[in-house]
């Protein structure tokens, strides 16, 4: 039984919305960094995440978020690993900067994912990336141990990041 993803989901869901938004971006950025050597035009996905992070921090505009989101669409349409990763990054942007898509004159995008969904997708991407680097098809049974190991390591990083950012729920009284 894999406990880390379940514990991760519990911890993420117990946080407030702002922290979940930041975690979704952190999960996506780390997953992109892990898989960067298997993706062409990773700079487009970096720009997408950077504009969403600036927007969440109150430093960026919704136009920038929407423009970078639209630029990433061409990668999303690819039917390969880059498309899978682009989908996950775009999901993180929708989770974290959803208010940008509610602004006047912006296109309407429903938020279908959560920070936990982004975490799961990035774990899958890390596993698939490990198999691709080894020259294996991620769906090949021979790749199973390798993909599970990489997924576990990604989940471990995500859990540690969450624990680092989440305030202790068992604070001592003042």
- Tell me, what's the pLDDT at 62? 85
pLDDT tens for 141-161 read 889 999 999 999 999 999 999
Tokens standing for 44?
A: 């487009």
pLDDT for 1: 35
- 168 vs 42: CA distance, rounded Å: 35
End-to-end Cα separation, the chain, in angstroms: 39
Q: Provide the pLDDT for residue 18.
A: 86
More confident residue, 171 or 68: 68
- Taking only the tens place, the pLDDT of each residue in 105-153 is 555 555 568 899 999 999 999 999 999 999 999 888 889 999 999 999 9
Task: Give the orientation angle of helix 144-165 with respect to helix 115-133, to 10 degrees.
Answer: 140
What is d(CA 169, CA 39) in angstroms, rounded to the nearest whole number? 39
How many Cα atoms within 13 Å fall on the side-chain side of residue 117?
15
The 10s digit of each residue's pLDDT in 74-93 is 776 666 888 888 888 988 98
Average pLDDT over every residue of 60-64: 88
Cβ atoms of 22 and 96 within 8 Å: the answer is yes
User: Averaged over 28-49, what is the pLDDT?
Assistant: 93
């Amino acid at each position: 039984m894999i406990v880390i993803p379940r514990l991760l989901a519990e911890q993420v869901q117990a946080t407030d919305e702002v922290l979940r938004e930041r975690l979704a971006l952190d999960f996506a950025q780390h997953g992109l960094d892990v898989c960067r050597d298997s993706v062409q035009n990773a700079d487009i996905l970096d720009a997408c995440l950077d504009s969403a992070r600036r927007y969440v921090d109150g430093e960026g505009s919704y136009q920038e978020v929407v423009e970078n989101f639209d630029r990433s669409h061409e990668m999303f349409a690819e039917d390969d690993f880059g498309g899978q990763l682009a989908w996950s990054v775009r999901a993180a942007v929708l989770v974290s900067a959803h208010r940008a898509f509610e602004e006047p004159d912006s296109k309407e995008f429903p938020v279908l994912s959560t920070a936990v969904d982004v975490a799961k997708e990035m774990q899958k991407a890390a596993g698939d990336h490990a198999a691709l680097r080894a020259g294996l098809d991620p769906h090949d049974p021979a790749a199973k141990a390798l993909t599970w190991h990489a997924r576990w390591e990604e989940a471990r990083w995500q859990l540690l990041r969450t624990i680092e950012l989440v305030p202790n729920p068992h604070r001592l009284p003042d």
